[in-house]
Structure formats: C-alpha cells, structure tokens
Structure 1
Amino acid sequence: MKEEQVQAMQQLAKRVVKGYKEVHNKNYSEARKYLEPLVSMLHSETKPNVKLLSYTAIAQIGDRDIEGFLATYEELKRFDAETEEQVKLKERVDEMFTELMTVLQDQEPNQ
C-alpha cells in the first residue's frame, strides 16, 4: 500500500473511532457528522458493518432524526450479528426501536 493510502485509511479509522466516542459521550449530533458519511463507504450488502450501522442508528435516534434512524434500523435488521459485541449493539438498537414505537403509539389520538 502506498503511503497516501495508509494515511487515508488511518484518517478513516480516526473518524470511526471519534464517532463511536461521541455516541458514548452522548454528543449525538457530532457522532452523526462523523458516522453517517462513512456508512456508504464502510458498509455494503457483501460486507455488512453491523457495528457501524448500530452506532449510526443510536446517534440518529439520540439526535431525534427519526426518519434516519428508521432507515438505518431497517438496513441493520437485514444482517446477522457475528460477535457478542454486535449482538449487544443490535439488542440496544432493537430496544430503542421498541421504545420509539411505544412513544409514537401513545401520541396517537384515541379513536
């Protein structure tokens, strides 16, 4: 690999780590700025990135981007978790989805 490629990969890795840290620090808007642009680069049908999708979904719901969260959640559900960490992340996102649906249902007027 050329030096430029190595540096580009290091920069990419730093963005991912920074995004994950921002989620842990509950700075969801900042996390979205780091993570959302990376999804198209680091996730695909043939090489799913469950961890990145999970963190992106958490950042989106934390930043109240409901439509973004639902789109990312739908994509995430298509893939199986392969590690214990991924299982836990997917479970956390599932819980957030369930909570969101409960809140939305509670807001509907009684018919």
Structure 2
Amino acid sequence: MNQDQEKAMRKFAERMVKGYEAVHERDYQEALENLEPLVPLFHQEDKPNIKLLSYVAMAQLGTKKVDEFLSTCEELSKHEAKTKQEEQLKSRVDEMFDELMQVLNDHM
C-alpha cells in the first residue's frame, strides 16, 4: 500500500470511528453524514459489514428516516452475525424495528 492509499484508508477509518461515536452520543445526523457514504465501500453481499449497517440503521431511525431504516434492516437480515458484538448489534436493531412496528400499529 502506498502513502496515498494509507492516507485514504486512515481518513475512512477516522470517519467510521467518528460516526460510531456520534451514534453513542445520540448525534444521529452527524453519524449519518459520516457513515452512510461508507456503506458502498465497506459493505458488499459477499463481505457484509454488520457493524457498519447496524450503526447506520440506528442513525437512520434517530433522524426519522424510516424508509431508509427499513431498507437497512432488510439488508441486515440477509447476513449472519459472526461475532458476539455483531449479534448484539443486530439484536439492538431488531429491537428498534419491533418498537417501530409497535408504534405504527398503535397509531393505526
């Protein structure tokens, strides 16, 4: 890897960490701005990035982007968690999905 590639990868990593931290701080707009552009680069069907998708889903729901949240949930459901952390993240997103469905049902 040459210096330019290293610098680019470092920038992506910093952006990802900043996005994850923003979710933890409940700054969902900041999280989305940092994380959403990374999805096409770091998540593919054959190499899923469950952590990234989970954090994007949380930020989407936090910014009330329900359609995008549902789409991300659908994508997440296609992939198996490979670590305890991924299981926990998927479980949290599933809980958020269930809560959203409950709220929608209560208002119908």
Name the TM-score, length of structure 2 as normaliser.
0.99
* Aligned 1:50-65 pairs, distance under 5 A: 50-65=50-65
Q: Per-residue deviation at 1:94?
A: 0.2
Q: Percent identity?
A: 52
CA distance in 2: counterparts of 1:29 and 1:67, whole angstroms = 16
What is the Cα-based RMSD across aligned positions, in Å? 0.4
Partner of 2:86: 86
Cα deviation 1:52-96 (Å, max 9, x = unaligned):
000000000011110110000000000000000000000000000
Gaps of 5+ in 1: none
Which 4+ stretches in 1 moved above 2 angstroms? none
Name the TM-score, length of structure 1 as normaliser.
0.96
Cα deviation 1:8-57 (Å, max 9, x = unaligned):
00000000000000000000011000011100110001110000000000
**Structure index of larger Rg:** 1
CA distance in 2: counterparts of 1:68 and 1:18, whole angstroms = 21
CA distance in 1: counterparts of 2:20 and 2:72, whole angstroms = 16
